[in-house]
Amino acid sequence: MKMHSRARRLSQLALAALLAPLAVSVQAAAPADNYPSKPIRIIASGPGSSSDYLSRFVGQKMTEKWGQQVVVENRVGAGGTLGTDAAAKAAPDGYTLVMGNGGTFAVAVALYRNLPYDPVRDFAPITLVSSMTMMMVVHPSVPVANVSAFVSYAKQKNGLNYSSTGNGTLSHLTGELFKQITGTNIQHVPYKSGAAVTAIVSGEVQVSFLSPVTASAQVKAGKIKALAVSSRTRVIGAPDIPSATEAGIAAWEAELWYGLFTTAKTPKPIVVKLNRGIGEILASPEVKDTIQKQGGVSAPSTPEALGALVKAELAKWTPIVKAAGITAD
């Protein structure tokens, strides 16, 4: 009787040992299996910005895909670093994402002496969302039709102002690069996110360097004029606008990219699920076409590729910012 009881006990222990790894595996997979089970938050820059547009557009598709509401939270100030910092300090559960870009994940490191987050250490990359060139636009009152004429006009006036989406943003650096290449003395006026386009439309400033997503609608409406895009070739979403090479300033190259990140230490299965799901959204013909019409390119990637891009951008922009002597407000 004791032997049978002992044998039964050993059998139960053996079975438990066999099932233990399976239980651990099931437990580890559970977060991704149940995800998302509540609303997801995407932190973006101010209303009207490219970050805001892409977050809302992709967020709506995520809602349709998973049946959970995706809420876009606009955080303005400090070139987008305030919102980025909020995402860095969120719970690592995949329910807080941030639409990052070269400004908040690369330039800010050199720009802010006490940046409260580390773009590599504090985030888990999910996927690249879109990449696009910058667009040089002027107010209709500026009597020029091309970049060459603008350079001559700017040197004659010697005191034109240009708006950007914030100090140290790619919008700002694109303008500074233009100044260095052309020798023009246009003055930088930083605005909070989408207010930069309002400034150029109202004539508060004469020129601006904006993303196609931000500027295209105003260009099509005739409220501002586009002179060039910051790439070697024309872009599909804006085929009528000359490239930097055509405009005679081939060295004027700047690419604006946007990618989704979540808080570091978020379980890998959740990151993988987000990457695959959002990647499928970005690969759909409808989404690709919509982003393309806004002047961008749908660019889904692996988390590893986005992480490598951040490191490459840090290496590229840090010395440029320091050499230009640009500092945070």
Q: Which residues pair with 42 in a beta bridge?
A: 72, 97
Q: Are 51 and 99 in contact (CB under 8 A)?
A: yes
pTM score over 0.85: no
Indicate the SS3 state at residue 254: coil
Q: Are 190 and 114 in contact (CB under 8 A)?
A: no
Distance of CA 9 to the CA centre of its chain: 59
What is the per-residue pLDDT across 8-47, written as a single tens digit (0 to 9) for each? 554 554 444 444 454 444 444 456 789 999 999 999 988 8
225-229 and 207-210 as β-strands: parallel, antiparallel, unpaired? unpaired
What is the per-residue pLDDT across 206-219, written as a single tens digit (0 to 9) for each? 999 998 878 888 99
What residue segments make up the domains of the chain, in order of their start? 38-131+255-324, 135-229
Inter-helix orientation angle 212-220/195-202, to 10°:
30
Query: Where are the alpha helices (H) located in 35-163, listed in sequence order?
Result: 50-66, 81-88, 102, 108-111, 147-157
Provide the pLDDT for residue 25: 43
Mean pLDDT of the 293-299 span: 82
What is the per-residue pLDDT across 155-185, written as a single tens digit (0 to 9) for each? 999 889 999 987 777 888 899 889 989 999 9
Q: Are 209 and 150 in contact (CB under 8 A)?
A: no
User: From 3.40.190.150, 3.10.20.30, 3.30.420.240, 3.20.20.100, which CATH number describes the 38-131+255-324 domain?
Assistant: 3.40.190.150
Confidence band (pLDDT; 50, 70, 90) for 317?
Answer: confident
Residue 300 has pLDDT above 70, yes or no: yes
What is the per-residue pLDDT across 39-98, written as a single tens digit (0 to 9) for each? 999 999 888 788 899 999 999 999 999 999 999 999 987 778 999 999 999 999 999 999
Task: Report in angstroms the alpha-carbon separations of 171 from 106, 134, 192.
Answer: 14, 7, 11
The structure tokens listed for 79 are 């070139």
Confidence band (pLDDT; 50, 70, 90) for 329?
Answer: low
Q: What is the CATH code of the structural domain delimited by 135-229?
A: 3.40.190.10
Choice between 314 and 167, residue whose per-residue pLDDT is larger: 314
